[in-house]
Amino acid sequence: MTSANILREIEELPDMGITLSDGCRLSARVWRPKDAGTDPVPAILEYLPYRKRDGTCARDALTHPWFAARGYACIRVDMRGNGDSEGLMEDEYTPQELSDAVEVINWLAAQDWCSGTVGMMGISWGGFNGLQVAALAPEPLKAVITLCSTVDRFADDIHYKGGCLLNENLGWGATMWAYSSRSPDPALRDDWRDLWLKRLENEPFLPSVWLRHQNRDAYWQHGSVCENYGAIKAKVLAIGGWGDAYKNAVPQIVQNLPGAKGIVGPWVHKYPHFAVPEPRIGFLQEALRWWDNWLKDFDTGVADDPDYRAYLMDGVRPARWYTERPGRWIAEQDGAVAHIPYRTLYLTRTGLSDGPGRLTATVRSPQDCGAEAGEYCAIWLGPEMPGDQRGDDARSLCFDSAPLEVDTDILGAPVVRLSLAADTPQAQIAVRLNQIHPDGASTRITYGVLNLSHRNSAETPEPLTPGEIVDVELKLDQIAWRMPAGHKLRLAISTTYWPLLWPAPEDAELTLTKGALHLPVRRTAKKDEYGFLPPTAADPWETETLREATSSRRREVDMVTGTVHLHIEDDFGMVRDADHGLIAGSVARETWSIHPDDPLSARGRCHWTEEMQRGDIRLRTETTCEMWSDADSFFLTARVEAWENDKQVYERDHSDQIARVCL
């Protein structure tokens, strides 16, 4: 039994107020059956800082009305300090944020139009806090659907990876610096100007906050549900994409949460009923089965579904963007990937070999190695995927296998174990697993990175002793990939990975004396092992386009100085909402610069423009930031300017110096 064929007439409330115990009013957009007052329904909460009025409208329109027509109240809440809600936001995933969510859940459950059960759904930020709120176990919260999320905030978010500093720490921090600088919609709040100016005055520059926590301390342990999976009582459906940054959480959730189910497709950072690359799936139908089972007590059979469903992608030629990935759906009935056997290949003087062999090899990569890494988190739908790896391979130490004799299905997280020595106390290593085509083209399958000071502990890093051989292990990101017969595997090892990672303070050389690649190899799938319904959605968001969206990526080399620049511009266009008339648009710009011979030449710059117009009120914010470093410290500057009808009404500058700690 499901709600799929029982359609109810719905109503939309654009600004339902939820007043918290401290008096802060949160603004919610609600879709629910018109008769919910006499026939109460479960509530589905999506709780974000990304603005329901002009931010997440496109995906909200496709998703929430569809569930509402099938007997749910969908509640899209602007978090404290964002969109049309009151208050101030201090950071991501704070105790205040999570406490507010628990209050909202309990408030929803007590409404006369709610049946008393609540689900929580979200992607990225909303996927993160859905798990974190579930770990607080509010009684009405019975089910969660988390998409593109993490269970470990230090190991698998946009700040650090393998103990290395991700440049996304600055990039996404710049995004939030811009997002949170925007005003409420003047049509909804008489005091919009006061709220706006108060936000601007109190808005934190989050890269400074995050950079003050360079190891896995209590700051990162907070909100990392891997600290205590047992705290989560709600039933969790976890969904991810191989084109996304967050590839590892789904199998981790399946392995550690009883009753959890996982789905991973070929997608980037999007909901899978409209994600790319295709094939898409009937996500809404799959989610409805989950909600009906756990929120309405219908037996929809979800408990009998395979624990883990993954799209096994065919190994294809490298490209900066894919519209479709050929492959097939595979299914693991019990568990995710922990039971998949490993095949071991050894790093030797002759390449990747089936047996151990002698090895002494050195690598010292130019600082611009990593140019073909693509975006850390592909989200804006520009040319963001990893390109042909041959240029980066030439700057790396490479180990090739013999051509594979049969098609080989890789499912899980490859593990690389190395014995190595460095000539500096601080160094990093990047390891890429690539598919080498018969004509030499190189496609990145998966990768991993490690700050070698974190080789034994992310909590208590320790510098290397130059010249001393140490044993290290890297777990590469999870993947499901078919290697075709006749193609080679390549393990490419570099000491830099720019612009994905901020470089170590010195130009390090690594000497490898032993190594092995442990490759999770699954039985070869002969055909699809699971089938999903085709995608469906509610009617799309109706807008008038005032400026088309465009994206560009340009790499430039200054022939005088030798400095390499990556210029990124994402113009998200400008649209007018056809319903309520609000005009909104934004442009993001980033520049990442480095000299191939000098790690201390690294520099990142970001500039966002946010625009809003309501009638004759025209609002704009310009936010900029920059980061550079020397051997001992990071330096950051940031500025926010606000304009009303072309008159500047606010400005503020921020500067910071933060010591490097084993980084």
Put simply, whether the predicted model's pTM sits higher than 0.95 gets the answer yes
The architecture in CATH of the region 10-149+235-305 reads 3-Layer(aba) Sandwich (3.40)
Report the distance separating Cα 658 and Cα 336, nearest Å. 41
- Rounded distance between C-alpha atoms, residue 441 and residue 217, angstroms: 42
Q: What are phi and psi of 619, to 5 degrees?
A: -120, 145
The pLDDT tens digits for 586-604 are 999 999 999 999 999 999 9
Work out the pLDDT band at 382, boundaries 50, 70, 90. confident
Question: What value does the mean pLDDT take over residues 330-335?
Answer: 98
User: Given this model, what pLDDT does residue 661 score?
Assistant: 97
Residue 379: predicted pLDDT? 87
Residue 1 reports pLDDT greater than 70 = no
Task: Please report, as a single letter, which amino acid is at residue 39.
Answer: D
Place of tokens 């180990």: 399
Specify the pLDDT at position 21. Answer: 98
Is the Cα torsion angle 206, 208, 209, 214 positive or negative in sign? positive
What is the DSSP code string of 71-137?
A: T-EEEEEEPTTSTT--S---SSS-HHHHHHHHHHHHHHHHSTTEEEEEEEEEETHHHHHHHHHHHH-
Taking alpha carbons only, the member of 279, 43, 283 closest to residue 148 is: 283
Confidence of residue 153 (pLDDT cuts 50, 70, 90): very high
Four-point Cα dihedral 593, 596, 598, 600, nearest 10: 20
CATH of 342-522, one of 2.60.120.260, 3.20.20.10, 3.50.50.60, 3.40.50.620: 2.60.120.260
| pLDDT over 90 (residue 5) | no
pLDDT reported for residue 4: 64
Cα separations in angstroms, 253 against 138, 256, 342: 20, 5, 21
Rounded to the nearest integer, the mean pLDDT of the chain is: 97
**Pairing label, strands 428-436, 442-451:** antiparallel
Per-residue pLDDT of 411-437, as tens digits, reads 999 999 999 999 999 999 999 999 999
Residues 6+ apart with CB under 8 A from 216: 154, 155, 458, 459
**Residues 468, 542: Cα–Cα separation, whole Å:** 63
Mean pLDDT, rounded, for 570-586: 97
Domain range list for the chain: 10-149+235-305, 342-522, 543-659
Q: For residue 450, what is the enclosing H or E element?
A: strand 442-451
**Is the pLDDT score of 644 beyond 60?**
yes
Percent of the chain with pLDDT over 90: 98
What does the radius of gyration of the chain's CA atoms come to, in whole angstroms?
25
Q: Name the one residue in this structure whose structure tokens are 């648009």.
A: 585
Which of the four pLDDT bands, split at 50, 70 and 90, describes residue 243?
A: very high
Tens of pLDDT, residue by residue over 92-144, are: 999 999 999 999 999 999 999 999 999 999 999 999 999 999 999 999 999 99
Q: What is the DSSP letter of 324?
A: B
In this structure, what token pair is assigned to residue 400? 């090739």
Q: If phi over 0 gives left and psi between -120 and 50 gives alpha, with beta otherwise, what is residue 131?
A: alpha
Among residues 302, 303, 325, 323, which one has the least CA distance to residue 312?
325
Q: pLDDT of 215-238, one tens digit each?
A: 999 999 999 999 999 999 999 999
Under 8 Å between Cβ of 88 and 81: yes
How confident is the model at residue 381, as a pLDDT? Answer: 80
Summarize pLDDT for 50-74 with one digit per residue, the tens: 999 999 999 999 999 999 999 999 9
For 222-282, where are the alpha helices, taking DSSP H only? 249-256
